Amino acid sequence: MRIRIDLADSWVPAAKRERTLDRLEALERRGVVERHPLQARHHLYDRIYPRADVFVMPSRAEGFGFTNIEAMSFGLPVISSRIGAIPEVIDDGLTGVLVHPGDVPALSSAMEKLVADRPLARCMGEAARAAFLARFTLERFRSGVGRIYREAIESRCAVS
């Protein structure tokens, strides 16, 4: 099983970041984790997501977390942070695992759990795909926005 991990600039204290990087390198040496630098969208869609088993995006600040939804669209369980709107997107224990920002032991534990329990990771991935199809497709977005506009127009016309 491979977990996709990208490391970007971090707000994590230096000592904690070093422990995390050391752990990450140990997982890489075992062939469990692959690190990828920033990728072009077509490369992500054609090569990275289809080969991944889990998507990991620990974040300290996130507005909505579209990348988590993108990963869910590929049927990947998501390990992410319990911040912003992410808990509204990721159903902890069903479509992925949520950890508190900066909690390196919890992040490591979540990664190890999904690597060790492939049936659980597959089940979460299937649930993630189903949640994506039920809640986040372009058609669902268009329908929802259209409903909002119709309701606004109808309420305005009713008041006039």
Mean pLDDT on 126-152: 93
pTM of the complete model? 0.76
**CATH code assigned at 64:** 3.40.50.2000
Mean pLDDT on 124-137: 97
Position 160 scores a pLDDT of: 58
Mean pLDDT on 110-122: 93
Position 64 scores a pLDDT of: 82
Q: Angle at the Cα of 12 (from 7 to 13), degrees rounded to 5?
A: 130
Position 159 scores a pLDDT of: 64
Mean pLDDT on 96-116: 91
User: Containing domain of residue 131, as a range?
Assistant: 3-159
Phi-psi region of 31 (alpha: psi -120 to 50; beta: other; left: phi over 0): left
Position 18 scores a pLDDT of: 81
Q: How far apart are CA 57 and CA 159, in angstroms?
A: 47
Contact 69, 134 (CB under 8 A): no
Percent of the chain with pLDDT over 70: 91
The total domain count for the chain is 1
- For the record, the structure tokens of 21 come out as 């990087």
| Max mean pLDDT range (44-48, 51-55, 104-108, 118-122) | 118-122
Which pLDDT band holds residue 12 (cuts at 50, 70, 90)? low
Report how far apart, in Å, the C-alpha atoms of 134 and of each of 52, 127, 139, 140 are.
22, 10, 10, 8
Contact 113, 98 (CB under 8 A): no
Mean pLDDT on 118-142: 95
Cα 122 from chain centroid (whole Å): 15
